Amino acid sequence: LLVAAAACELELTRVMSTLRDDLALRDNLAVTRDEALAAATAELVAVKRRLAAAAEVLEVSERELAAHRGEEKRLCEELKKRQGQEEQLRQSLEEKEGELKRR
């Protein structure tokens, strides 16, 4: 009977030790899972910040591009105007040369 009781006590000690190890492992896994979740959340926040910064840069670039296009349009209109003036001056010069030749 004493041998059986000692064997039961030994088995109970082994089971309790295994249970403690399993609980410790589960706690470590929970901590690891929580740490992984916190790290993933921090990375997501960092990505969101980078995306917001990129969107801001893109918005500024779009405004600058629109301003450049406006300037380009204005310069093209100015060029057409000057080309028209140049053509008028050329015609006027040709007319005056024609008058001079007739005289």
**Is 1's pLDDT higher than 80?**
no
DSSP state of 79: H
* CA distances from residue 13 to 18, 21, 56 in whole angstroms, order as listed: 9, 12, 64
Cα angle 75, 80, 89; round to 5: 130
Whole-structure pTM over 0.95, yes or no?
no
pLDDT in tens, 50-74: 999 998 988 999 999 999 999 999 9
